[in-house]
Amino acid sequence: MAVFVTVPLRRPARSDEGAENPRVAELEARKEAKYREIRDAEMDREAGKLTDEEWTRVDRELRREAIALLKQLDRVRGGE
């Protein structure tokens, strides 16, 4: 058991191999939530909870926010 547990300790210290940047994690979570919001808005329109005009406005806004998130993600990833 001790061997199993201490395997990682006997590795040489490596810096951030393939690990996720917390900033990326945050943006990914937001992006996913944003996609979900876009999809919900579409379903809300289909179900008649949003009129076509309301949906167009909400959808445009959501997409703008999503694009901003994607740009941020690109920046953060590019900066790594």
Partner 1 sequence: MIVLGSACLILALVAALYAVVAALAGARGDRRWADSSRRAVYALAGLLTLAVVIVEAAFLRSDFSFRLVADHSSTTTPTGYKLTAMWSSQGGSLLLWAWVLSLASSAVLFATRGRHREIVPWATAVMMGVGAFFCGLMLFAGPEADPFARLDPAPAEGAGLMPLLRHPAMAMHPPMLYSGYVFFTIPFAFAIGALITRRLDASWIRSTRRFALIAWTFLTIGIVLGARWSYSELGWGGYWAWDPVENASLMPWLVGTAFLHSIMVQERRGMLKVWNVSLIVAAFSLALLGTFLVRSGILDSIHAFGASTVGPPILVLIGCVVLGSVVLIVSRLDDLRPERRLDSAFSREAIFLVNNLLLVGLGAVIFWGTFFPLVSEAITGTRSSVGPPFFNRLATPLAIAAVLFTGIGPLIAWRQMSWRSAWAIVRWPLAVAAVVTVALIAFTDARGEPFALTLFAFAAFALSALVQEFAKGVAARRALAGGSVPGALAAIVSRNRRRYGGYLVHVGIAVLLIGVAGSTSFQTSRDLFLSPGESATVGDYEVTYVEPTQSVSGSEERLTLGAVLDVRRDGEHFTTLRPTRNYYSSRNADPASPVRGFFEGEATSEVGRTDGLGEDFWTAVQPDLTRFDPVIERVDERLAAIGERVEGGDPAAQAQVAALQGAAIRGVANRYADDPPPANFRVNVNPLVTWIWIGWMIALIGALIALWPSAGARGRVREMYAARLARELSRA
List the interface residues with partner 1, window 9-28 (CB under 8 A).
9, 11, 13-14, 16, 18-20, 22, 25-26, 28
Structure tokens at 19: 């690990």
Closer Cβ to partner 1, 13 or 79, answer by number: 13
Structure tokens at 38: 């876009």
Dump the DSSP string for 2-13: HHHHHGGGGSPP
CA–CA dist 80, 66 (Å, integer):
21
List the interface residues with partner 1, window 43-62 (CB under 8 A).
43-44, 46-51, 54, 58
Longest CA pairwise span in the chain (Å):
64
Residues engaged in binding partner 1 (CB under 8 A) = 1, 4-9, 11, 13-14, 16, 18-20, 22, 25-26, 28-30, 32-33, 35-41, 43-44, 46-51, 54, 58, 63, 66-67, 70-71
